[in-house]
Structure 1
Amino acid sequence: MKDTLKFYQEHDMMTEIKTMKHMVTGIPKDIKTIVTYVQNILLHQHWSEVYGLELSDERKKEPFIRSFEDKLIFLNKLGFTHVSEQRTNDHKMISICRDFSVVAAALCREAGIPARARCGFASYFEKDKYIDHWVLEYWNEEKKKWVMVDAQLDVLQQRALKLPFDPLDVSENYFITGPRAWLLCREGKLNPELFGIFKWWGYDYLRCNLIFDANSLLKMPMQPWDMWEGYKSLPIEEWTEEDYKVMDDLSIHDINGDHHFEAFYQYVQTNDKIKVPEDLSKVINSLE
C-alpha cells in the first residue's frame, strides 16, 4: 500500500505543472482550502446560467483543454497569477466535473497528498437516477483510508441540490464508482437504465465510465467525449457475453487495485481495447 500511495502522490501527464509553477506555490495540506482554490478558477459549464453567464460557442470549447498545465496557461491569460485568487464568475474557466476532480488531484499532489480522479455516477443530481460524474479521491492519513470529495459542489450548488451530506466526505451511498456500478448492474442489484446522462443510458454508458475509471486510476484521466478504438467505441449491440466478461474482470481488478496493483496494471496495459492509446492523436472527440 505504501508504494501505491507514493504512486498517487506523484503527478501524471494530466496533472503535472511545468512552466506555470508560480500559480501553484504554497498549496496547503488542507482539503477544504484546496477545494476552495479549485472553485476559485473553474465554473461548471452546465451550471453557467445559474451563475448568470450566457456562454458563447467559443467559451463552450474551454472544457476541451485537457491538462492542468494548459488550463493554467489559459487561466493566466484570463488574469490569474495564482489559484488562490478570487475573481468574478465571468473570469473563471468553463469546465466540467472531470476538470474539477483532475485539478483537485493536481493540487493535492502539489501539497504532497496522494490523490486521484474517480469516474462513476452520482445519485444527488436527479431523483432515482445515477448521473455521470467525477469526484476527487484523496488519502486521509489520519483515518488511513481513501475519502471521496466532490470539488464541484460550491455553496450555490449545495443549496440548489439540498445535499444531505458533506461534499468533503462523499460516501459510496451517494457516489458509485464505474466498476461498482457495472458489477451492481450485472448482479441484478440495480437497473442499468438508471445510469447515464442526457440521452445516453444503460450498459453503453456504464462501460464508458468503467473504462474511464480504470484508466484514471492508472493516471490517465480522460474526458467524457473521448473515444478510441476498442471497447470504448465498439457498439454495445455487437458485444458477446465474452466482452461483458472482460468488463466484469476489469471491474474486479479495478476495485482490488490498491491491494493487487500489479495485476490491475497488467490487465489494463496488456489490453489495447481498454487502455488509452499512447498516441493521444488517436483519441477522437465524439462531440466534434
Structure 2
Amino acid sequence: MSAVDHAPAPISRAQIAHAWVQQSEITAPGRFAPLLDALPADFEGASSCVRGLVSHYVASRIPFSPERRAEADARWVEDILATILERDDAPLTEPREPVERFVGCCRDFTALTLAALRHHGVPARSRVGFASYFGDGFWYDHVVVEYFDAGRWVRADAQLPPVLLGVDMRDLDASPELYRSASEVWLDFRAGRIDDEQILEHGAGPDLPFAGGYYVRNYVLLELAHLAGVETLLWDTWGPMLTRPLRKDDDHALVDRVAQTLLNRDVPRETLLELLAETGLDPLGEMTISLSPGGAFQQPVSLRRTAA
C-alpha cells in the first residue's frame, strides 16, 4: 500500500464550517434555549423575528433614556433575552412595539440571529466590517451574519429588511461594493488603494471622532474575535488596540497577518483561536469595555459567563 493510501482525506468546506454550529459563550441562550425552538431555522425567518425584538439605539430615532440605552452593554444573548422577556413574556416570534424592544445595535441583531441559527444546527458566525448602504458617502461600522448554505458562506444583514434601496440584504456578496470586511478595508489601506483621506470615511459616523486608520485597525481585531466565536461588544478593547490616530512607528505586523488570514473564508476556527491568543485576548479572561454609548468607560469586564 502506498503512502498516498495512508494520506488523510482532505477536510471539506462543510466540515470546516460545522465548527460554527456550536453556540459560543456569548450566543448561548442558557435557560431560554427551549424558546428558540419556535424561531425559524432559516436566516430570513430568524432575522425577521429578531427585528421584532430589538430597536437600534440610534437608527430607531426613539429618544431612549440613558438607562434604556445602557441595555446595549448587555454582552450575552441570555441576558438580552432576559431583558426582552421580562418586559413582555410573549413568544419570541411575536414582534414587540419598537419602544418596548431591547435597545441594541447591529451586533445584537446579529448575535440573536446567530443564536437562533446555531440552535437549529445551521453554521453561522459574525462578520465585522463597514457598510456604505446607509447613505451620505460614509462607510459605517456594521456587523452582519455569515451562515453556511449550499456549500458556501453567505453574508447577510440581520438588522435590515430583506431588500432595501434595491440591495438584497440576504446576500451581500452580490453587492461587494456596498459591504466590506474590516480586514479587506485595512489591507487596501496598507497597500495604498485607500488613501489617507478615504480611510477617514470609515468609522462610527461622519460627525464622530471614531474613524480612520486606527479605527479600522481595531476593527480587524474585532473581526477576528467575532469569527473565532467571541462576539464582543463593538466598544470592547484589549491588547494591541489603539485609542489614538496611527503613527509612522506603529507596528502593524500582527494586524496585517490577521487581516490576510481573514480573507480566507475557509480558515479553520482553531486557527482563528490561535491568532486571537496572539492578540492577547483570552475568550474566558478579562478585557476592557470603553466608549460605551450607555456611559460605561474603561470598566474591566470578564468574558466568562457567570450563572444568572
TM-score normalised according to structure 1 size: 0.87
Q: 2:171 aligns with which of 160, 169, 174?
A: 169
Distance 1:75 1:261 in 2: 31
Moved more, 20-29 or 105-114: 20-29
* Aligned equivalent of 2:97: 88
Whether the 8 Å CA contact 2:38–2:92 is kept in 1: the answer is no
User: Counterpart of 2:274 in structure 1: which amino acid?
Assistant: Q
Question: Does residue 147 of structure 1 match 2:159?
Answer: no
Tell me whether 232-241 or 125-134 shows the greater mean CA deviation. 232-241
In structure 2, the CA distance between the partners of 1:277 and 1:115, relative to structure 1 (3 Å rule), is closer
Instruction: Give the conservation status (yes or no) of the 8 Å contact 2:41–2:120.
Output: yes
Distance apart, 1:81 and its partner CA: 3.6
Q: 1:261 to 1:31 in 2, by over 3 A?
A: closer
Distance 2:79 2:44 in 1: 24
The 1:209/1:237 distance shift into structure 2, 3 A limit, reads: closer
Partner of 1:127: 136
Cα distance, 1:107 vs structure 2: 0.8
State how far apart, in whole Å, the 2-side matches of 1:219 and 1:205 are: 21
Deviations 1:26-49 (A, max 9, x none): 333222111111111111111232
Superposed displacement of residue 234, structure 1: 5.8
Query: Residues 128 and 182 of structure 2 are in contact (CA less than 8 Å); yes or no, is this contact kept in structure 1?
Result: yes
CA distance in 1, matches of 2:230, 2:85: 24
Percent identical residues? 25
Partner of 2:79: 70
- CA–CA distance in 1 between the matches of 2:136 and 2:236? 27
1:90-115 C-alpha deviation (Å, 9 max, x unpaired): 22111101111111111111121110
1:48 aligns with 2:60: yes
What is the SS of the residue equivalent to 1:7?
A: helix
Q: What's 1:181 paired with?
A: 185
Cα separation, 1, equivalents of 2:224 and 2:246 = 22
Asked if structure 2 preserves the Cα contact closer than 8 Å seen for 1:178 and 1:213, the reply is yes
Specify which structure has the higher proportion of helix. 1
Tell me the amino acid that sits aligned with residue 202 of structure 1.
G
Deviation of the 1:239 alpha carbon: 6.4
CA contact 1:118–1:213 (8 Å) conserved in 2:
yes
1:34 is aligned to 46
Q: Where does residue 286 of structure 1 map in the other structure? A: 291
Aligned equivalents of 1:36 and 1:265: distance in 2? 31
Alignment counterpart, residue 246 of structure 1, candidates 244, 254, 271: 254
Contact kept in structure 2, 1:101 and 1:135, CA below 8 Å: yes
Alignment of 1:192 with 2:215, yes or no, is no
- Give the 3-state SS of the residue equivalent to 1:86 in structure 2: coil
What amino acid is the match of 1:63? A
Instruction: Please report the RMSD computed on the Cα atoms of aligned residues, expressed in angstroms.
Output: 2.0
Is 1:111 the counterpart of 2:120? The answer is: yes
Preserved CA contact (<8 Å) 2:214 2:243: no
CA distance in 1, matches of 2:131, 2:100: 28
Flag the 1:15–1:234 CA change in 2: closer, same or farther, 3 A.
same
The 3-state SS of whatever aligns with 1:267 is: helix
Q: 2:19 is matched by which residue type in structure 1? A: F
Are 1:97 and 2:102 an aligned pair?
A: no
Corresponding residue SS for 1:47: coil
Match of 2:258, as an amino acid? Answer: L
Q: Deviations over 1:208-264 (max 9, x none)?
A: 211100011110011121122x212464445635x2222111101122262455444
Q: Which residue of 1 aligns with 2:3?
A: none
Q: In the alignment, which residue of structure 2 is the partner of 1:3?
A: 15
Aligned to 2:306: none
- Residues 168-208 of structure 1, C-alpha deviation per residue, up to 9 Å, x if partnerless? 11122211011111111111222312211222111111012
Structure 2 unpaired stretches of 5+: 1-12, 297-308
Unaligned runs of 5+ in 1: none
Residue 54 of structure 1 aligns to a residue whose secondary structure is coil
Instruction: Report what 1:15 is aligned to.
Output: 27
Do the aligned partners of 1:24 and 1:82 also contact (CA within 8 Å) in 2? no
Aligned equivalent of 1:61? 70
Matches of 1:30 and 1:263 in 2, distance apart? 28
SS at match of 2:168: coil
- How much does 1:126 deviate? 2.8
Higher-Rg structure is 2
The count of corresponding residues between Structure 1 and Structure 2 is 273
Distance 2:282 2:211 in 1: 22
Measure, in 1, the Cα distance between the counterparts of 2:102 and 2:38.
22
